[in-house]
Amino acid sequence: MRLSPNQRVAILLHEGITGHHGKTGLAILRYSEAPIVAVIDRKCAGKSLPQLTNIKRDVPIVASVAAALEYKPEVLVIGIAPGGGAVPDDYWLEIKDALKAGMSLVNGLHTPMASIPELNALLKPGQLIWDVRKEPPNISVASGMARTLSCRRVLTVGTDMAIGKMSTSLELHWAAKQRGWRSKFLATGQTGVMLEGDGVPLDAVRVDFAAGAVEQIVMRYGNNYDILHIEGQGSLLHPGSTATLPLIRGSQPTQLLLVHRAGQTHNRNNPHVPIPPLLEVIRLYETVASAGGAFGSVPVVGIALNTAHLDQSAAEDAIAQTIAETGLPCTDVVRFDANVLLDAVMNN
């Protein structure tokens, strides 16, 4: 399943438009081709979405599912991604209201909903519940086979979670397609899978098979494309992250792009964990990716800098400072475009 361009979508995003947990809904607003007819966020109801987010999509913000029904949505997407992926208590009533109103449900949280009898009892013919976070079938332990592919395999890695790795991969993918290259975006998180309709929701995969699940999808597509843009997850600097290493081992990347939020000096949720100087972070990722030479050299070829919290002048200064600090190409791929980093990928 994927978000269809023919189905009218409402996004359930309470406290998410201006909070820290709304990345799924905001990414769908930025990148989905589906007609999004309402955003549900009681905190921001009645306000302007473009003014709040800088996303060029003028969708009404309403306070509840009941208020969204005026816009005739057919699908409700849960747009938050809280720590641990649990459903907030106040979301259950909204979910039930949507199902009672005839809407299908797209659920990217860890709590499976398609198997809940109370919710299933509300479904009418044609309605469904899509639990995105499901382990793919027939996965096995990784073997490093992705190294045999001739395509470029570009993996985004980060200094923290939720800083723009998916956006960077998508922007690079679209820029590559505009140049006429055979490019494929490989989704590894719930939002990417919703957008692409395919991929590996990596945090739903048992750890022994995580690298194998990544290897499986890379091998499925690698022979048919010039370049694979592999969506990064987590961070080697985050004390709770388990996804980055399986992505590195399973995809056997040919290049890495480091994603960083301008000015961030510590892990957002663990302020006792500092972010080292970027040159040290680059050295870390290159060392881990190459495993001391076991898997060959894997360079970080550029920096994708998230400057969404800065004004234009400050963003340009931050990019210039990062270039001076690292000696690598750097830009904000959402604010500007991805071509600087795409050139770096293709020239390495």
CATH label of the domain that carries residue 64: 3.40.50.720
Q: CA-CA distances (angstroms) from residue 234 to 34, 125, 157, 195, 238?
A: 27, 38, 8, 19, 7
pLDDT reading at 1 higher than 90: no
Q: Do 172 and 236 belong together in one domain?
A: yes
Residue 139 maps to a domain: no
Asked if residue 203 and residue 303 are part of one domain, the reply reads yes
User: Are 117 and 208 contained in the same domain?
Assistant: no
In the prediction, which pLDDT does 200 show?
A: 96
105 falls within a domain: yes
Task: Indicate if 126 and 153 belong to the same structural domain.
Answer: no
Could you say which DSSP state residue 266 is in? B
Please tell me the number of Cα atoms within 13 Å of 244 on its side-chain side: 25
pLDDT at 6 (0 to 100): 83
**Is 215 among the domain residues?**
yes
Structural domain contains residue 169 = yes
Same domain? 178 vs 300: yes
Cβ–Cβ under 8 Å, residues 61 and 49: yes
- For residue 25 the two structure tokens come to 């809904």
* Structural domain count of the chain: 2
- On whether residue 29 sits in a domain, the answer given is yes
Q: Looking at 104, 131, 158, which one is the last position of a domain?
A: 131
Q: Indicate whether 159 and 39 sit together in one domain.
A: no
In this predicted structure, the answer to whether residue 246 has a pLDDT above a threshold of 70 is: yes
| pLDDT on residue 267 | 96
Give strand ranges (E) for 163-253: 183-186, 227-230
Q: What is the pLDDT of residues 95-146, one digit of tens each?
A: 999 999 999 999 999 999 999 999 999 999 999 999 999 999 999 999 999 9
Q: What would the mean pLDDT of 80-89 be, rounded to a whole number?
A: 80
**244-251 and 207-222 helices, crossing angle to 10°:** 40
CA 155, CA 253: separation in Å to the nearest integer? Answer: 6
Partners of 130 in beta bridges: 106
Compute CA 186 distance to the chain's CA centroid, rounded to the nearest angstrom.
10
Question: Would you say residue 256 has pLDDT above 90?
Answer: yes
What's the CA gap between 335 and 325, in Å, rounded? 21
For residue 121, count other CB atoms closer than 10 A to its CB.
8
- Stated as kind and residue range, the H or E segment containing 37 is strand 36-40
**Does residue 220 carry a pLDDT above 70?**
yes
Residue 1 counted as domain residue: no
Domain boundary among 131, 158, 174: 131
CATH number at residue 172: 3.40.50.300
For residue 209, give the DSSP letter. H
Q: Domain check: are 225 and 196 in the same one?
A: yes
Q: Which of 205, 203, 211 is nearest to 147 (CA)?
A: 211
In this structure, are 122 and 218 located in the same domain? Answer: no
In this model, does residue 21 exceed pLDDT 80?
yes
- List of residues 6+ apart from 113 with CB closer than 8 A: 95, 105, 107, 119, 129, 131
pTM of the model: 0.93
Above 80 in pLDDT, residue 179?
yes
Report the chain's mean pLDDT, rounded to a whole number: 95
Least confident of 14-23, 29-38, 184-193, 269-278: 14-23
pLDDT tens string 303-341:
999 999 999 999 999 999 999 999 999 999 999 999 999
pLDDT at site 109: 92
- Residues 214, 334 within the same domain: yes
Please report the pLDDT score of residue 134 as a whole number. 92
Kindly give, in sequence order, each residue whose CB lies less than 8 Å from that of residue 224, ignoring residues fewer than 6 positions away: 182, 184
- Work out the angle at residue 219's Cα, subtended by the Cα atoms of residues 285 and 202, and round it to the nearest 5 degrees: 55
Assign residue 318 a region: left if phi > 0, alpha if psi is -120 to 50, beta otherwise? Answer: alpha
Query: What is the percent of the chain where pLDDT is above 70?
Result: 99
24 and 157 co-located in one domain: no
The residue among 68, 98, 131 that closes a domain is 131
Identify the domain containing residue 265 by its residue range: 145-347
Q: Are residues 97 and 66 in the same domain?
A: yes
pLDDT in tens, 22-81: 989 999 999 999 999 999 999 999 999 999 999 999 999 999 999 999 999 999 999 998
> Residue range 224-243: average pLDDT?
97
Question: Is 161 found in the same domain as 113?
Answer: no
188 with 199: CB under 8 angstroms? Answer: yes
Q: Is the pLDDT of residue 281 over 80?
A: yes
Structural domain includes residue 140: no
Residue 137 lies in a domain: no
Integer Cα distance of 88 and 22 in angstroms? 13
What percentage of the chain carries pLDDT values higher than 90?
Answer: 92
